[in-house]
A and B are shown apart, each in its own frame.
Chain A
Amino acid sequence: MSLVLNPQEQAIAVGEDGAGMAMRIVAESARLLGAPRLIPIASAHIDGALYHGDSGTLFAERLVEGGARVAVRSTLNVGALDLTGCSRIRLEEPQRGMARRMMEAYRKLGCEQSWTCAPYQAGHRPAQGSDVAWGESNAVVFCNSVLGARTNRYGDFLDIACAITGRAPDYGLHRPENRRARLVFDVSGLSASFLASEIAWPVLGSLYGREVGNSIGVVTGIASHPGEDALKAFGAAAASSGAVGLFHIAGVTPEAPDVETILAGPEPEAEAVIRVTPEMVAKARAALSTAAAAKTIDAVAIGSPHLSQAEFDMLERLIAGRRLAVPIYACTGRHVLASLELDDCRNRLEASGVIIIADTCVVVTPIMPELSDGVLMTNSGKFAHYAPGNTGYAVLYASLADCVESAIAGTPRFTDIAP
């Protein structure tokens, strides 16, 4: 079936202006995907405003010059600069100027200055069943899985084109029949103490992503809702190690009240059940570290996805006023920054040696000092995945409590939790 545009869409697509350009980009993508039509969207989350080179800046400025404006609510993912002035970004000119121009162009297009990879914790929560066009892999997976809104993984440029046209290709996860689970990821063989621990979710997410790739699974064996920050960590890790856009957890996520409802067939095939063993979890946990033998650490990085207020509260409790030997880079959005400043939490954390970063994070732009053999500790499955390639630091994976104790000691401290 080939793509058919309605008369209004056709009229926009022949325009020489920014809206015409956006409509042609959406339509071309729809043709490539084999979508029969475009559908209206309720909102967008734009990942395209992170500077990768001058061409992206020129594209955004072309849209601005063409008078384009977003037609739906559009939040912005991280940029390459910290516009709040919280932290010092080492990006040099002329890249710095081009990155700033890019951020400015997206503001002029009418996007909200949210600058966060956790828009769903900054008040952008589309209704269950609504169609949206979101970018940034962790935001996509949270939006689909935890909120039950419908989005594909929108790449750079298509996200803003959808936001301007208010349209998206009718394809993939927008269609209810493509949202059902094809396999079961059973964690009932793991210890209750492990499942209740903070590291359970990022470690399981990393394993899940590697096991399921781009197919859709349902996690079984979870007794109660683990909390939103745990689901955030699971989805981010899964979307880093695999091409996961949607997961279900039986009894927890909105489209999976139970296993039967969400499975595509009456019974999953035997080979479509992954029984997670303690050995698999131990291996997945070990694979998150690339510097297992490190004797010292140079930094701790947390906040991928961006930290919530609750995660900052836990950080402050764990530090308990002590002084850090190596810095903890704590990445967050400006939506949290405001409340951190209200109760003086920011000053207390910074006095301990925490470096708060807003609007961006340590793996997308140069922030941490350049070290040839640096070691970074993190509790984020996503940071563990991207830090070696993007920062040059080797990585040690640990719980937040262990990260804090290690930052105070300057040497790795681990508490063992048997899976």
Chain B
Amino acid sequence: MSAAEILVPGKAGEGEALVLTAPISFWGGVDPKTGRIADVRHPQHGEIISSRVLFLPGTIGSSSASAVLMELVHNGRAPAALVLREPDAILLLGLIVAREMGWETPMAVRLAHGAFDAYRGSTVKVADDGAVGVAA
């Protein structure tokens, strides 16, 4: 278990870990309808982020990342939880606004980047208090 800081409160979640090895642009990089990584140059191209615990090393590109994440939430295709190294105000705005709309959103937590690799290949649980751990 790693203690993690809650960046945006939301529903506790559990899912197969998806540890991205490169930063991603959500706009143009993730299909808002399917949750599939559409950026052909991204190392995890073709993976589905929906219902996964998504470990993000960073985001790049367009300021419409928030719109794509909110659309994923609205379509029921959001990740089970988001784990970030740094607060990303543009991306996480998608969760902040979705909460305002009254939609159920996944939790976003902050974890040291070095800790990401330990979760690769595991089913990961993000608890109500933001703690990140391998599911029993």
Contact = CB atoms under 8 A, between A and B. Distances in A.
Contacts of A153: 63, 90
A157 B94 CA distance: 8
From DSSP, what is the main secondary structure of chain B's interface residues?
Answer: helix
Contacts of A62: 101
Interface residues on A, range: 20 to 34
Interface in B58-77: 60, 62-68, 70-71, 73-75
Interface in B69-95: 70-71, 73-75, 87, 89-90, 92-94
A85 B7 CA distance: 44
B32 interface: yes
Interface stretch (A23-31, A179-187, A270-278, A370-378): A23-31
A27 to B, nearest CB: 10
B70 A28 contact: no
B97 interface: yes
A243 interface: yes
B133 interface: no
A34 B63 CA distance: 19
Given A47-B64, A135-B63, A33 B89 contact: yes
Interface in A18-65: 21, 24-25, 28-29, 32-34, 47-48, 50, 52-56, 58-59, 62
B28 interface: yes
Interface in B31-60: 32-33, 39, 60
Contacts of A28: 8, 96
A131 B105 CA distance: 32
Contact of B74 (A34, A54, A154): A54
A158 B93 contact: yes
B66 A158 contact: yes
Contacts, number: 91
B40 to A, nearest CB: 8
Nearest to B74: A55
Contact of A155 (B39, B64, B74): B64
B98 A55 contact: yes
Interface in A58-112: 58-59, 62
| Max chain A Cβ within 10 angstroms of own Cβ: one of B28, B70, B71, B94 | B70
A339 interface: no
A50 B66 CA distance: 13
Given A137-B63, A156-B67, A32 B97 contact: no
Given A52-B68, A55-B70, A155-B64, A32 B101 contact: no
Contacts of B116: none
A344 B32 CA distance: 43
Nearest to B7: A32
A53 B74 contact: yes
6 closest Cβ contacts across the A-B interface? A53-B71, A55-B74, A155-B90, A155-B63, A52-B67, A156-B67
25 contacts: A25-B93, A25-B96, A32-B7, A32-B87, A32-B89, A34-B87, A48-B67, A52-B71, A53-B70, A55-B67, A55-B70, A55-B98, A56-B67, A59-B97, A135-B63, A136-B63, A137-B62, A154-B63, A155-B89, A155-B90, A155-B93, A156-B63, A157-B66, A386-B28, A390-B28
Given A53-B68, A55-B74, 20 more contacts: A25-B93, A32-B87, A34-B87, A47-B63, A53-B33, A53-B74, A54-B74, A55-B70, A56-B71, A58-B74, A153-B63, A154-B63, A156-B63, A156-B64, A156-B67, A157-B97, A158-B66, A158-B93, A389-B39, A390-B28
